[in-house]
Structure formats: structure tokens, C-alpha cells
Structure 1
Amino acid sequence: MQEAEGTECTCRPAAPVAYDHSRSAPEESRMPFTRSRILYVTDLAYEARGRRYCDEDIYLTSRLREEFDLALCHPRDAAALLDAFDAVVVRNSGPVQGYEAAHAAFRERATERGTRVYNQLTGRADMVGKQYLLDLTAAGYPVIPTVDRAEDLHRLPVADEYVVKPRLGADSAGLGIVPAGRVAEALDGAGDLLVQPRVDFAYEVSFY
């Protein structure tokens, strides 16, 4: 700057100012992680008969978020993301059944790394199909009798109607009600199906 006649310039170049960005961040964002991190695997677009799955996901995750740091992901992304979390919750077998290869890759990686997964990957119930219904029937447990071959239909109780459903299925997808006289026809070349007598009950009881 040019000095005016008879005056002395007192201006000095401005020194760089160090700005502490952390001061502007909310205190909560700078706190260390103290809660377990949960990866919640579901398909928000999954269509189930008679109800909206995404509404249930919203409610379930809102409750989990009270206790955990939580993120939702699609079944296709689970294998790639699981390393950043302490545990993984897989909603159930319905949302993952359309993505068998991706879910198999997730199961393999989670097993290799010892990741906590709920329901556990060692389970033998709906998450891996309905073979357990045949096993329990064969073992004589008091369950709804189930067979998977036309030649075994005589082992079922006599009923007016029978339920025919996929061995790998959930949420009534692919389920049909068949008159007694057409059950063998329904099984013929229809794929991997199970048959049970139709039982008229008010609600299903789940055990945990």
C-alpha cells in the first residue's frame, strides 16, 4: 500500500487464522462410539400377502435404534457392508429369497468372519426352508403333518382341503388351497412343494 504524504503506514499483512472446525460440530458427533452397531438386512420393496412389510421394518428399526447405532441395507449389499458392524439382523426369509446368490455370499462371509447374525446361521427352520416340517413329522412330533410326495399322501389325515406350498417360501407366497381330490394333480410336475391338511385356526403361535 502506498503511504500518504506525512503519514506512516501501519497496515500489516493479515496472518492466517486457524479455524477449529470441530467447534462448530455438535458435541454428539464428536463422541466416541459407545453403542453396538447393527446392520439390519431387509427389502423395503418386498411384497407380502395381506400386509406392508416396510411398515413393520420402520417400527422394528425404530425400536432397535433406541439401543443400537443402526443402518438398513438391501440383501444384495449385506456381504459388502457387514465388516463395519458388530452384528447383523436379517429380517426373515421372505425379503432374502429373491436374492439367493447374494444371501449365500453373505452367509459364507459372515461364517468366515464369525459375525453375529440373528437369526443364527446354524438354524434349521424357515431361514433355510421348510424341511424341518418334514423332519418333525417323521420324528413323530405333534406338528401339522407334512409330506412332499404324492405317494405319501396316505400318511396325512383325511381333510376336505389341503394346503400346498413351496418348500422354500415365506409369507404365503405360492401357497394354495386345494380340494382333496386334486392334491396329487397339484403336486404333479409343480416343483418342490409340501402338502398339509388345512387346519382352521384363529392365529399362529410362534416360539422364541
Structure 2
Amino acid sequence: MARYTGPVCRLCRREQQKLYLKGDKCYTDKCPVAKRNYAPGQHGQGRRGNMSNYGLQLREKQKVRRYYGISESKMRKYYAMADKMQGVTGENLLKILEMRLDNVVQRLGLAESRAEARQLVTHGHFVVNGRKVNIPSYLTSVGDVIEVKEKSKASPKFKELVEKHQGTTKPWVQFNSEKLQGNIISEPSREDIDLPIEEHLIVELYSK
């Protein structure tokens, strides 16, 4: 399935909640969800009837896919991994998604959005444990060190991002602003994942 390349604000409006896909714009009055809190399209303002259980499950799954910017095939792959792990399957799924390299880069404040993080990773601006990694879906592990590549550290963009997002990283990652380096110190807990989602609905959908 091809990646969605249209206006990402339509995705937020479709879910009728902010998915924070545009970085800083999502926190301003310019956010389309704040101005037009209804689904896109000519019938977007029409009445929405009661949604079936399947509809609720599907919407929750779509929210997560859009939030992390992944395809359906990737989502199914991660669900299969989560289902084999010990613990609660839904929470395991969100932990796997959080450990993707593009998400970690965004969590460290080195990108304003996951889309930008994916682009930066693809362009080879980061090294993991000293090795260049340009695959956004690369799954990091506890103890990994993610660092901006030496040649990229002089870029004013990274300095600007660090100043803007100083102190906004999550408890499961540590960030050294001088070295432009982050450490994964633990797996994220469910409380660390600021996603208003009912992951059990996704499990119900995929377990049918």
C-alpha cells in the first residue's frame, strides 16, 4: 500500500482529534481541527449515526496508523510481534511503535514531527551505537545510543530544534543537548505514551 501523501490535516479532521502530524502548527490557532472540527469532504458536516463495534475498532486502528505514519502491513506485523510477547498485547503494540527510530528521534526533540523524523533518518543524519542507520522503521532497544551524525551536527536546524524542544523528552529517554545524543534508558510505559487511544479495540479487531 502506498504511503499517504495528501494534506495530513485531513487525517486529523477525519479522526476529529489532533494527531499532532504538523509539529508546532498543531499547537496554534491555525490548526484545522480547531477551526473545522468535522470530517473532510462535502458530507463532512452531515450527521454521524451510531458507530458499530467494528467501526469503533477500525477507527482506533486508523488513529494509531496515522499517528505513527505506518502502513497496514507494518501494523499487522507489529501486532503479530506484540501478540507473541509477554504482557498485555495492546500495550506491547504501542511500545513497539514507540521504539521505532523515527519516533525516538521525534521524542528526543530532533524533529518537529514524525514525518520530518522519517525524512531526516532516511537522509542519513543519525547513527545508532556508532553505526549509520537510515531506516525509519528500525526498532531500537534499551541501551541504544542515538546520535546526530558528526557531519550533520553543524546544521543550524538541529541547534534550533534543541533550543525549541529543550526539556520536552520522555522519561524513558535521556538527551544530551551538547552532544546531540540520546540514550534509551528503559522501555516506555503506557503512561509515557501520550496517545488518547483504546488499544484493546485494536486487539479485538486483529484477533478476529
Fold match (TM-score > 0.5): no
TM range (shorter): under 0.3
Q: In proportion to residue count, which structure has more helix?
A: 2
Please report the TM-score for the alignment, with normalisation by the length of structure 2: 0.27
Please report the TM-score for the alignment, with normalisation by the length of structure 1: 0.27
Q: In proportion to residue count, which structure has more strand?
A: 1
Which protein shows a greater Rg? 1
